[in-house]
Chains A and B, each alone.
Chain A
Amino acid sequence: GQQLNQSPQSMFIQEGEDVSMNCTSSSIFNTWLWYKQDPGEGPVLLIALYKAGELTSNGRLTAQFGITRKDSFLNISASIPSDVGIYFCAGNQAGTALIFGKGTTLSVSS
C-alpha cells in the first residue's frame, strides 16, 4: 500500500532556532495536511495544501506542496517552547482515505 516517509523522526533544538521537516510519498497526492499533537490530545490541523507548488503560512509556520506532488515540507521559524510536540504529515490521492506519516517529535530547550 501507500507509504509516507516522514523525517526526521525527532529533533532537539534551542529556542529561537528554525526547524524543517518533510514527508515523501511513493505516489502522487492531491492533498497534503500538517498536524501538531500535544501529549494525550488529538492532532490539531496546522496547514492544508491542495495544489502542487502551493506555499502557505500560518504564523511562524510555512508549508509547501512539492512540485512533483510526492512531497511536502513544514518549516517553523524562531521556535518557542510551546512548539514542543509531535508533528504529523498526512496526504491522500483522489477517492482514498488520508494516510499519516509516523511523526516528527520536536523538543525545544530554552
Chain B
Amino acid sequence: DGGITQSPKYLFRKEGQNVTLSCEQNLNHDAMYWYRQDPGQGLRLIYYSQIVNDFQKGDIAEGYSVSREKKESFPLTVTSAQKNPTAFYLCASSMLTPGQGRREKLFFGSGTQLSVL
C-alpha cells in the first residue's frame, strides 16, 4: 500500500537523551514535513524539506534536527536541548507540482507519541 509510515508509535525519552523518530513514504512525493501537536493546539511546523539533501527550519526548530539523504526518508531527532519534548509528532509529505503554483495537499502519517520518563 502507498502511504507514509511513522515509527515507533510510542517512544519514551530519558533525561539528556537524543531520540530519533522515523518517517518513510512510498508516494514518490518531493516534499516532507515534521509537525508537533500539543493538546488543544494546532500543528506547528518543525522542519520541512523540498528536495534531497536540503531542508528548512519551521517555526519551532530549536532542539530538533533532521536529515534528507533519500527522497523516501525524513527522520527527526529530538535532542537533549529540547526541554519540553512531550508531544504528538506528525510527519507529512506532498507532491509539488510545477506550473500550478504551490497547490500542496499534505498527507500525514499516523504519528508518534513521545513522552519523557
Q: Is the CB of B102 within 8 A of A100?
A: no
Q: Is the CB of B42 within 8 A of A4?
A: yes
Q: Which of B6, B44, B88, B108 makes the CB contact (< 8 A) with A44?
A: B108
Q: What are the residues of chain B within 8 A of A45 when measuring CB–CB?
A: 105-107
Q: Is the CB of B106 within 8 A of A1?
A: no
Complex CA distance for A35 and B48, rounded to whole angstroms: 19
- Interface members, chain A 73-110 (any B CB < 8 Å): 88, 90, 92, 94-103
- Total A-B Cβ pairs within 8 A: 64
- Interface members, chain B 17-61 (any A CB < 8 Å): 33, 35, 40-45, 48, 58-59
Chain B: interface size category = 20 to 34
Complex CA distance for A50 and B104, rounded to whole angstroms: 10
**How far, in Å, is A99 (CB) from chain B's closest CB?**
8
Q: Which of B42, B58, B103 makes the CB contact (< 8 A) with A97?
A: B58
Q: Is the CB of B42 within 8 A of A101?
A: yes
A21 sits at the interface (CB 8 A): no
**How far, in Å, is A50 (CB) from chain B's closest CB?**
6
Q: Is the CB of A41 within 8 A of B110?
A: yes
Complex CA distance for A35 and B42, rounded to whole angstroms: 12
Q: Is the CB of A97 within 8 A of B108?
A: no
A97-B33, A97-B45 in contact; A40/B40 too (CB < 8 A)?
no
Chosen A-B contacts, 6 in total, with CB atoms closer than 8 Å, are A6-B42, A31-B103, A50-B103, A88-B43, A94-B101, A97-B45
Binding site for A on B (CB under 8 A): 4, 6, 33, 35, 40-45, 48, 58-59, 88, 90, 92, 101-111, 113
Binding site for B on A (CB under 8 A): 1, 4, 6, 30-31, 33, 35, 40-45, 48, 50, 88, 90, 92, 94-103
